[in-house]
Amino acid sequence: MKSDNSINSTSSVNSDNTVNCTTPANADNLFDNEQIATEATAITATTEPPKQQRIGKQQRKSDFSEFKATFLAPAKLVNRHALNIEGDLWDQLERVSRILGDRGTTVSSYANAILAEHLKQYADDIEIWRKL
């Protein structure tokens, strides 16, 4: 008798496992909810990076002139304060300002422009974070 019950209980467990197991037919959508499957497909489709387009010489010149006007314009700082930064960062800023900037462009004016642009770009977020 015991052997019959153990066989029956084992077979019933096996049959439950076969019904509830994930098969390729229902692997995409376990709960038969089409909306979740569609949203997951949409998310994976939108996360693919766009194909890289070739940038022409004119576009590069335009981008450079915009960068130069924004960050490398010579400026005289009136109300100055000292700012301590790492030496290698100073060297990088100096290299960019000396090579790409016009005469009169300094590391200080370049760093000032970078910080001003950063604060302008994140002004709304900074205000929200301040209120947290």
Report the phi/psi class of residue 32: left, alpha or beta, with left for phi > 0 and alpha for psi in -120 to 50.
left
Query: Is this prediction's pTM over 0.85?
Result: no
* Residue 48: DSSP 8-state: S
Q: Model confidence over 16-44: pLDDT tens digits? A: 444 444 444 544 543 455 554 455 555 55
Ranges of residues in the chain with a pLDDT under 50 are 6, 9-24, 26-27, 29-31, 36-37
Q: If we measure between CA atoms, which residue out of 70, 79, 81 comes closest to residue 105?
A: 70
Q: Which ranges constitute the DSSP H helices of the chain?
A: 2-20, 34-46, 57-71, 87-100, 107-121, 123-130
| Chain centre to alpha carbon of residue 33 | 30
Q: Are 109 and 74 in contact (CB under 8 A)?
A: yes
Closest alpha carbon to 74 in 98, 50, 49, 47: 98
